[in-house]
Amino acid sequence: MRTWHPSTLVVAGLTLVLAATSPRAASHREAPLMTLDPAADITDVYAFVSYDTANLARASADRKVTLILNVIPAQEPSSGPNYFAFDDNVLYELHVDNNKDGDAEDVIYQFRFQTTVDTPAQFVATLAPVTALEGPNAAGMAIKQRYTVTELRNCKEKKNGPKCKQKTVLFSGQSKPTVPSNIGPKTMPDYAALAAQGIFTDAGTDIRVFAGQRAETFAIDLGAVFDTVNLRRTPLPVETAAEDANDAVNPFGVNAFSGFNVNTIAIEVPAKRLTGDGAAPSAANGTIGVYASTSRQQVTIRRGSPALNPKKPPAELLQGAKSFRQVSRMGNPLVNELIIAVGKKDLWNATDPADEALFLDFYRNLAVADALKLVSGVDVPAKPRNDIVHLLTQYADQNVSAAPFSELLRLDMTVAPTPPASIKRLGPLAHDAAGTATPDGAGFPNGRRPNDDVTDIVVRVAGGKNYVDNRVGDGVHINDKGLTPDFPFLPTPYDGRDRVHKDPGE
């Protein structure tokens, strides 16, 4: 095993390269244009066989799969009086490829939101107490948001949007209420019970959905990374086998997302609805590719200026016009941050994953691996990095030199879910305190679960064997709330009055 010897000159002069390409969480503020558009900023995408008690008890043929799309990064819980909501003018979508052609338009789940101001004379958006999402016990919420869910199947992408052979509007077209931000215990005295009312099951498809605020589960020592890689253990952080095996403790890092929230769209689907032939997942049909996208219409129309017609104020101040255009996408975590060059990040967000061949040089040349070597002095694999191309843009049984190349989060639905008590954050790289391998095959890069430590996994894979053997990491293993065992699999959000951010030294 090689010893780490980063010189003072290397750390001072070259770690800026790593800082420029290091994780900004899984996808938080990852591209210049997206920093201006948080409601469309996809922070994380998850795809996994559900690991709640009910699904663990099901026969393999009857299991369900959960897909999650998070937006609006790093929500400070006390940011009132106008809290966090989805954007009525954004089209939120989860896409599935179920025939391995790299074109993830075989199944699409679309979410559209509508906001209403039910009591416009109320001086703040929410007054206590709110114990229900609808009806008299929700009267304290002046503003409510509802959404519809549409399943599209067998689609082909066209200029003005997908053309699909099948369209199923869930809940017979009835809109469902989102779960509002967690303002505080006086306004929402039992937020967990309130949020539970926001889980709905469609009778015709057995699909379960949730939309609303959740606590951020992605964990990383972001502040230390961007202070010229001033991590809290030097030289470049190496964990002992015992530290690395402990998923319940952050051995030396500080989670930058402690106490912050996100907005979550979660959908749980019977696995049979995601296979290409509608049969139970098997070796032949059981692997899918997933990505999420957000889209805006080509033209944004703003109205206002009461002086133009003081007797007739505009009904809508903001609306979109013309066809939708993709503004953000995500499959695997950290691709835009760690692989795509800064001048191409917004273009990458707007490009269909099926056209990933346009960006393969970034995978093959993997600048972040060069930065790791410069910082640490430890060798990385030689270029071209076809291992990275294959891992992130192809199915396991594809030839690395053969198209199609499509950046998708791939999930083998035949792999049984790991019970919550046994989940290992390092997935295939997991081990015990003695360093003996204890792989968890249900974790990233086989799909992704909310508590998978994608930062440590991705950095080690990028660096190669030396970085895997030395257990390189940022010292952050887990979010403050730990693992959530039930749908929607992300924790109750921090409330605005009593939120806590754990800071360095605490």
pLDDT at 13: 27
pLDDT at 317: 77
Q: Cβ(469)–Cβ(386) under 8 Å?
A: no
Q: Cβ(210)–Cβ(266) under 8 Å?
A: yes
Residue with more model confidence, 413 or 401: 413
347: its two tokens: 């273009």
Give me the percent of the chain exceeding a pLDDT of 90.
72
Q: 154: helix, coil or strand?
A: strand
Q: What are phi and psi of 191, to 5 degrees?
A: -65, -35
Residue 176's alpha-carbon distances to 138, 151, 491, in angstroms, are: 14, 15, 21
Query: Per this entry, what is the length of the chain?
Result: 506
Average pLDDT, the chain: 89
pLDDT digits 0-9 by tens, 303-327: 776 566 666 666 777 777 788 999 9
pLDDT at 17: 29
Q: What average pLDDT does range 101-127 have in this prediction? A: 91
Contacts of 163 (CB under 8 A, 6+ apart): 155, 156
- Whether the predicted pLDDT of 355 surpasses 60: yes
**Which range is most confident: 95-99, 399-403, 462-466, 473-477?**
95-99
Residue with more model confidence, 126 or 307: 126
Q: How confident is the model at residue 5 (pLDDT cuts 50, 70, 90)?
A: very low
**Cα distance between residue 182 and residue 262, in whole Å:** 11
pLDDT digits 0-9 by tens, 220-252: 988 876 675 677 887 777 899 999 999 999 999
- Neighbour-count burial of 53, counting CB atoms closer than 10 A to its CB (0-12 exposed, 13-18 middle, 19+ buried): exposed
pLDDT at 7: 31
**Cα distance between residue 51 and residue 74, in whole Å:** 26
Least confident range of 19-23, 394-398, 481-485? 19-23
Contacts of 347 (CB under 8 A, 6+ apart): none
Residue 325's alpha-carbon distances to 95, 221, 231, 295, in angstroms, are: 15, 34, 39, 5
- Whether the predicted pLDDT of 92 surpasses 90: yes
- Whether the predicted pLDDT of 262 surpasses 60: yes
The string of DSSP letters for 193-227 reads: HHHHTT-EE-TTT--EEEEEEEE------HHHHHT
**Rounded to 5, what percent of the chain is helix, strand, coil?**
25, 25, 50
Measured N-to-C along each axis, helices 386-393 and 454-463 cross at an angle, to the nearest 10 degrees, of 150
Q: How confident is the model at residue 52 (pLDDT cuts 50, 70, 90)?
A: very high
pLDDT at 168: 96
Contacts of 461 (CB under 8 A, 6+ apart): 388, 391, 468
pLDDT digits 0-9 by tens, 196-224: 999 999 999 999 999 999 999 999 988 87
- Whether the predicted pLDDT of 111 surpasses 90: yes
**Cα distance between residue 298 and residue 313, in whole Å:** 25
Instruction: Write down the pTM of the prediction.
Output: 0.91
- Whether the predicted pLDDT of 302 surpasses 80: no
The DSSP 8-state label assigned to residue 408 in this structure reads -
Q: What are phi and psi of 94, to 5 degrees?
A: -115, 125
Domain range annotation of the chain: 8-469
Nearest to 213 by CA among 266, 141, 264: 264
Residue with more model confidence, 126 or 312: 126
- Whether the predicted pLDDT of 20 surpasses 90: no
Residue with more model confidence, 347 or 32: 347
